[in-house]
Structure 1
Amino acid sequence: MSKKNTWTLILFLCMGCLAGVILSELLSNVSALSFLIKTADMVWEPKADLNLIKYDLYIQVKLNLLTMLTIAVAFLLYRKL
């Protein structure tokens, strides 16, 4: 049995997220499953100008139901390790 650690969990969650994105793209033409691939955009834009340091960061996350389901499956698979 393999040892569970944080990096393994992160790997499983990233793979689940990637699987969800790929499945969403493959199912985008199926109108009966449109409720699974409708995305919700979350945007976070922290900015600061402190005269010494200036930064502008743009982070956007697009989630849909299918991606969240594949992340949940990946987490369950991780727990089964």
Structure 2
Amino acid sequence: MNKKSGWIFVLFLFIGIVIGGFLGTYFAESPILSWLNYGQVFTLSPEFNFSIIEFDMNLKISINLASIIGILLAIFAYRKMK
């Protein structure tokens, strides 16, 4: 009995997002494949300033079509893994 691990699934998703994002950025200047870089940027910048402690954090998530394709391929590869 071979049980798939949840950590392996997260690893597959992470690899799919990174490779997809890289390919989308790489082909951004290509006239044929520039649509892979079409996407959206989400930012979150919570900031708390008390008189003693100041807390500032920035989170930026940039997702494009190539990243989404990478996620879908990662899910497909995970499901085919035995």
TM-score (norm: length of structure 2): 0.80
TM-score (norm: length of structure 1): 0.81
For residues 52 and 2 of structure 1, what CA distance do their matches in structure 2 show? Answer: 53
Aligned length: 81
2:69 maps to 69
Large movers: runs of 4+ above 4 Å: 50-53
**Which segments of 5 or more consecutive residues in structure 1 lack a partner in the other structure?**
none
1:16 equivalent to 2:16? Answer yes
Alpha-carbon deviation of 1:31?
A: 1.3
Q: Pairwise mapping of residues 35-54 of structure 1 onto structure 2 (< 5 A)?
A: 35-51=35-51, 53-54=53-54
Superposition CA RMSD, Å: 1.9
For residues 29 and 12 of structure 1, what CA distance do their matches in structure 2 show? Answer: 27
Percent sequence identity over aligned pairs: 28
> Helix, strand or coil: the match of 2:41?
strand
Matching residue's letter, 1:34 = S
Deviations 1:6-60 (A, max 9, x none): 2111110111011112212331221122222123110011222345543111000
